[in-house]
Structure 1
Amino acid sequence: MNRDAEATRRRLLRAATEEFAAYGIAGARVDRIAAAAQSNKAQIYHYFGSKDGLFDAVFDAMCRETVDAVPIDAADLPEYAGRLFDSYERRPWVQRLATWYRLERAGSGTLIPVLLESNAAKIEAVAAAQRGGLLPTRFSAEELLGLILHLSGFWSANTPEFDARLAGEGAERRRKVVVDAVAALVAG
């Protein structure tokens, strides 16, 4: 019985990930999520309490997966940015979910613990590398990390009109641009 409940919960999270990535929180429909998960709306409310609770569970799981899969290496921030880029290429819904989160949750006062903890650890790793002379100090650790995070997601944040100008750029070249940009940023 417990295995079936866990399987249902996983199916709901998978279906909700696709739905929220496509439509955001406001546009997502629990009936479509339930149908895609071969479940029912009552199960969504049972496991997650509400559509917002389901989004929070999806976003939390996505954040944890990214943090676990792409640990920071303050001694090699260009390659860290490249690995983040790789992660976004493999999981394009990550940047879409993050965009919906920023659009629909900004100013809500709700902060996600896994992101707070992860950001604090990354900032401390960068700060320690700066104190050790491995990284330049022209930017604070917070600023440097923010720039690196944004550079790693650069390609997924462009408008279609800008992307059209770069139509011939393959994933290998896009990754190289990210890595080279971060290398230039952290060059002493």
Structure 2
Amino acid sequence: MTRADATKARLLEAATEEFSRYGIAGARVDRIAAAAQANKNLIYVYYTNKETLFRAVFEAHVVRLLGEVPFTPTDLPGYAGRLYEFFLANPRLLRLAGWFRLEQGDYDEALAEIVKSNTEKVAAIARAQSDGLVDDRYPAEVVLTLVLAISAAWGSGNPATVSTYDEPDPKIVRLAIEAAVRGVVAGKDSAA
């Protein structure tokens, strides 16, 4: 790793912490540079501005998620459980996603990786539905949205779970998430 690569990595890590705490508007490049032990000017050299740095941080976390959590359209409960565990281990990602929605506009301008991944996932779910492997009572895009929302329900960005009670056992939460997703994708005959 070159010295420049090491500096960029430190800047991204420091920026991850700063942006997940304060968002784009509240983040300060001075704090990012100090935490990264780098010259503040390097932020502008490498990333042009604070907004571009934020997108680089968010993109890096999204790419990591997409690489580490395999999508299986015929095992959506398992996929939801794996997503939950990833969010549990990486709580800053959901906070960054919340800031992205609040400060970068709607997902109309979403990262290309998110658009491509979700488009592929919807198509894979639709194929599994047409093959009779996943129930087709809900459109594929509704199924994917529900799977993603259920997986992130215990995330740090969800106001419903903010310290109103003791944290439940993650194993129990994963089982509940998988059961909820099974309810979404179960056959019509098994729906109550």
Q: What range describes the TM-score normalised by the shorter chain of this pair?
A: over 0.9
Q: Distance in 1 between matches of 2:126 and 2:69?
A: 19
Matches of 1:143 and 1:170 in 2, distance apart? 28
Size of the alignment, in residue pairs?
Answer: 186
CA gap of 1:160–1:154, structure 2 versus 1, over 3 A, is closer
Q: Percent identical across equivalent pairs?
A: 44
Counterpart code for 1:79: G
Q: CA deviation at 1:111?
A: 2.6
**Letter matched to residue 40 of structure 2:** K
| Structure 2 gap segments, 5+ residues each | 188-192
Counterpart of 2:190 in structure 1 is: none
Aligned to 1:32: 31
With normalisation by structure 1, the TM-score equals 0.94
TM-superposed CA distance for 1:163, in Å, is: 4.6
CA distance in 2, matches of 1:115, 1:77: 18
Asked if the contact 2:154–2:161 (Cα under 8 Å) also holds between the matched residues in 1, the reply is no
Query: Paired residue for 2:124?
Result: 125
1:74 is aligned to 2:92: no
Task: For 1:9, give the aligned amino acid.
Answer: K
Partner of 1:51: 50
Map 1:81-100 → 2, pairs under 5 A: 81-100=80-99
> Residue 21 of structure 1 aligns with which residue?
20
Equivalent position of 2:164 in the other structure: 164
CA separation of 1:79 and 1:107: change in aligned 2, threshold 3 A? closer
* Alpha-carbon distance, 1:114 to partner: 0.7
Aligned counterpart, 2:10: 11
Which letter does structure 2 place at the counterpart of 1:93? R
Q: Is the 8 A contact 2:87 2:152 kept in 1?
A: yes
Look up the SS of the partner of 1:52 in the other structure.
helix
The 2-side partners of 1:63 and 1:124 are apart by 20
Secondary structure at 1:164's aligned position in 2?
Answer: coil
Which letter maps to 1:3?
Answer: T
Distance 1:10 1:138 in 2: 45
Cα offset for 1:54? Answer: 0.2
Q: Cα distance, 1:20 vs. partner?
A: 0.4
Distance of 1:162 and 1:90 partners within structure 2: 17
The Cα of 1:164 is off from its aligned counterpart by 2.0
CA distance in 2, matches of 1:44, 1:56: 13
Check 1:109–1:150 CA distance in 2 against 1; reply closer, same or farther (3 A cut). closer
